[in-house]
Structure 1
Amino acid sequence: MPGITGLSNMNTTIGIDRVQTVVERLVAVVRANAVVSGVAVAAVLGTAWMIHDYKEWRALGTGGTPPNVFGYCRMTISRIVFAYHIPRQTDPNTLSNNGPSYIKASIPLRSGGRPKIMPRILPQRQVPEPIDPLVKEKLMSLMRRLASKHPDILETRPSHTEGGTADGLYARKDNGKINPIVVSDRALDYEIAHAHPRDNSLHLWLSEADARKVIEARWGQRFCVPTVQKGWTMVYAPRNEEELELIEEFVKAGVRWVTGVAI
């Protein structure tokens, strides 16, 4: 009906005019008030930064924190709460050198020093460095290879601490020699190690004395969340065959600490 159509169009026009009037008033208020103008600019810049930061965080790859808005918020809160822990991660003096140690040889200093670390703490990652393709292949199969050689004490399954996105090396729970500290810890749940496909670094459960040795040699740092076991260590990525052999020694030391069995 033409009358109804005309009335509908008129109502739509009135609605648009009202919205436009409100917008114009808001713009006028912002222009007239320096404080409101500053807040508006800060809000726009803050939103733009957050969107960029979120995209950068997603680019790190999946980890223990889900790669969504919820995970980003959780990471951001942790980033603020545990900011005090950042310098402690590379400070070996925060760890005791008493207690058992299973890394046999002295650890050579990492060539080139520590790698750059991604600024967002979860997932904890380093900036990727060049790696020989064969070395990467061997690193990613290391957990399965050790488990297949020692099926009586080891097994592999999707890493709980990485949200199931990496192969985790675990101690078999029916092994009577398992470290009592491991049995009582629910966060790591018998996990010994896993490697990250995105940057080729690892997380590894070492004795506190061995973790200190690794950090002193600039081959690793403490986990970014201080409430986790002190020996849960981020180990930097190997870049060649010789460094991979050293990493394997670290993992074997972790196996000895967790399972009570030397391999």
Structure 2
Amino acid sequence: MTTALAWKWAQRDYRAWKALGPGGLPSSPRGWLTTTRFRLRKTDPFDVTGYGTDRPTTPLLHTLPRREGPRPSIGHWPVPHRPLDQGTGTTMRTALDASFAETVTANSGFLTMRRSVLEGHCDAVALTDHASAPPELRATRGEIAHVHPGDGSMHMILAAPDARAVIDGSWGERHPLGGVVPPLPSTYLLIYPPRDPTELAVVTGILEAAVRNAAAGEVPAQR
């Protein structure tokens, strides 16, 4: 690739990356250079071999249905990790935000909503006290899940069996840097935006499974 072609490619790629909106890196040329370097370290987003088969899924996900239709297209940039299509509309996004808020309210004894330490620009469901949480939650200071403002996709940290069930059911995929770049654990998953109330109910169940794993003995309220 000649210098002129490389420069044109970089300009196009930078503009497309900026169009994804804010993420865990500065929205600047330096942030773009960082995510471009991270592309060399991406892992297979559908590889579940590291999750093992020795433990069953959380009961909440025992009957997880398969998501209908194709998976959304995902941007090739590791950060921000975002779908390029199948985003939520305004009504569904409002319902999704309400579902997250209701989960926190129903478990206010050990959950809180605070600024995401992984994204930095949105709120996240987190443990009030993460001292006794699983190691992957201690690394994120108790952060469990957050919703991305632009499209309604989410990131959640799940138990390994639940992460396997979610990926196998086409409800999400691994973050390409999960388990590679701290503090992202290998079970840090992108959950696809819900397209209708039925899918919202499934996504809410996945969130509650993530909370159950994070709570380390606490039992989340069931809705």
Both proteins in one fold, TM over 0.5: yes
Q: Which of 103-112 and 253-262 deviates more?
A: 103-112
Equivalent AA in structure 2 for residue 48 of structure 1: K
Separation of aligned partners in 2, 1:71 and 1:104: 37
Equivalent AA in structure 2 for residue 222 of structure 1: R
**How do 1:25-40 residues align onto structure 2 when only pairs under 5 Å count?**
none
Please state how far the C-alpha of 1:99 moved relative to its aligned partner.
Answer: 3.3
Q: What fraction of aligned residue pairs are identical, expressed as a percent?
A: 27
Residue 105 of structure 1 pairs with residue 62 of structure 2: yes
Equivalent AA in structure 2 for residue 236 of structure 1: Y
User: Does structure 2 conserve the Cα–Cα contact (< 8 Å) formed by 1:132 and 1:240?
Assistant: no
User: Does structure 1 conserve the Cα–Cα contact (< 8 Å) formed by 2:92 and 2:197?
Assistant: yes
Match of 2:151 in 1: 199
Write the deviation string for residues 25-45 of structure 1: whole angstroms up to 9, x where unpaired: xxxxxxxxxxxxxx8xx1111
Among 203, 211, 215, the alignment partner of 2:167 is 215
Equivalent AA in structure 2 for residue 62 of structure 1: P
User: Does structure 1 conserve the Cα–Cα contact (< 8 Å) formed by 2:61 and 2:165?
Assistant: no
Write the deviation string for residues 75-123 of structure 1: whole angstroms up to 9, x where unpaired: 010012x14x1xx211223322323632343221111121111111111
Match of 2:94 in 1: 137
Match of 2:47 in 1: 91
For residue 55 of structure 1, give the secondary structure of its aligned residue in structure 2: helix
User: Does structure 1 conserve the Cα–Cα contact (< 8 Å) formed by 2:87 and 2:193?
Assistant: no
Please state how far the C-alpha of 1:182 moved relative to its aligned partner.
Answer: 4.3
User: Does structure 2 conserve the Cα–Cα contact (< 8 Å) formed by 1:89 and 1:221?
Assistant: yes
Separation of aligned partners in 2, 1:130 and 1:122: 18
Among 65, 85, 108, the alignment partner of 1:128 is 85
Please state how far the C-alpha of 1:132 moved relative to its aligned partner.
Answer: 4.5
TM-score normalized with structure 1 length: 0.76
Structure 1 unaligned segments of length 5 or more: list them. Answer: 1-38
The 3 A distance-change label for structure 1 pair 71 and 97 is: same
Separation of aligned partners in 1, 2:105 and 2:78: 33
For residue 193 of structure 2, give the secondary structure of its aligned residue in structure 1: coil
Match of 1:147 in 2: 104
Please state how far the C-alpha of 1:223 moved relative to its aligned partner.
Answer: 1.2
Equivalent AA in structure 2 for residue 181 of structure 1: P
Among 135, 141, 145, the alignment partner of 1:181 is 135
The 3 A distance-change label for structure 1 pair 65 and 92 is: same
Match of 2:200 in 1: 244
TM-score normalized with structure 2 length: 0.89
Write the deviation string for residues 108-146 of structure 1: whole angstroms up to 9, x where unpaired: 111112111111111100113153432211112333222
Structure 2 unaligned segments of length 5 or more: list them. Answer: none
Equivalent AA in structure 1 for residue 78 of structure 2: I
Separation of aligned partners in 2, 1:131 and 1:224: 22
Separation of aligned partners in 2, 1:253 and 1:69: 38
Q: Which has the higher contact order (CA 8 A, sep 6+)?
A: 2
Residue 162 of structure 1 pairs with residue 162 of structure 2: no
The 3 A distance-change label for structure 1 pair 182 and 230 is: closer
For residue 234 of structure 1, give the secondary structure of its aligned residue in structure 2: strand
Match of 1:4 in 2: none
Match of 1:262 in 2: 219
Separation of aligned partners in 2, 1:182 and 1:119: 25
Residue 53 of structure 1 pairs with residue 9 of structure 2: no
Separation of aligned partners in 1, 2:89 and 2:14: 30
Equivalent AA in structure 2 for residue 242 of structure 1: T
The 3 A distance-change label for structure 1 pair 216 and 111 is: same
Equivalent AA in structure 1 for residue 69 of structure 2: G
